[in-house]
Amino acid sequence: MKIIIFDFDGTLTKRDTIRPFASFIAKKYNHNYQLFLFYACLVLHKLKLISDKKLKESFLQLFVKTKSSEEMEEIVNQFFEDRVQNMINNPVLDKLKNHVHSHDRVYIASANFDFLLKALVKKWNISGVISTETEQKNGYFTGKILGNTCKGENKLKKIESVLGVGVLKHAIAYADDEDKLLLDSVGQGIRVT
């Protein structure tokens, strides 16, 4: 049994999902002003004026804060049905399914949100997700991230904290060029374009 790690955005999907997710929620709740503010944050992030954590917390503040975990689960399920199905990189998903069928331990490790990715554990029968964790109090989202985003060096640390120290050198990872650090740190890194 091998440990297999898949990135999500740009690997299992053909593109990043944060903008389509923001657009989806904005349309559902008529949050056009929030969507405008989020696109402004995206520009600031692209110009490296705000961090990845600040961008993700902006998303949470604008679209998720005060929603219950049940409400977000319903939103995520609708988002997967309506939008994500068309963004899936099917050849990479087929590889994931082959690893699951071979009884490998398959994980998704992504900077994306925990509440978005946890739906895939059951859907794709994987072992788990390692992701950016969001804070909840009494079953409602606070709009904050716990710790750092699961990206770059933080992703490697988080993988080792969840799966054990030294696991990376024996693991296989599928990721895009943004995850060069992960690809270079595992036993076998498979670059997805």
**At residue 1, does pLDDT exceed 90?**
no
Mean pLDDT across the chain: 96
Q: How much of the chain, in percent, has pLDDT values that exceed 70?
A: 100
Domain boundaries, the chain: 3-191
11 contact partners, CB below 8 Å, separation of at least 6: 89, 92, 174, 175, 176, 179, 192
Q: Of 134, 136, 130, 190, which is closest to residue 164 (Cα–Cα)?
A: 130
Structure tokens at 144: 């904050």
Q: What is the pLDDT of residue 193?
A: 82
Mean pLDDT of 90-114: 97
pTM across the whole model: 0.94
CATH architecture of the domain formed by 3-191: 3-Layer(aba) Sandwich (3.40)
> 52 Cβ partners below 8 Å, 6+ apart?
45, 111, 149, 151
- The pLDDT of residue 57 is above 90: yes
CA-based torsion, 174, 176, 177, 181: positive or negative: negative
* pLDDT value of position 74: 96
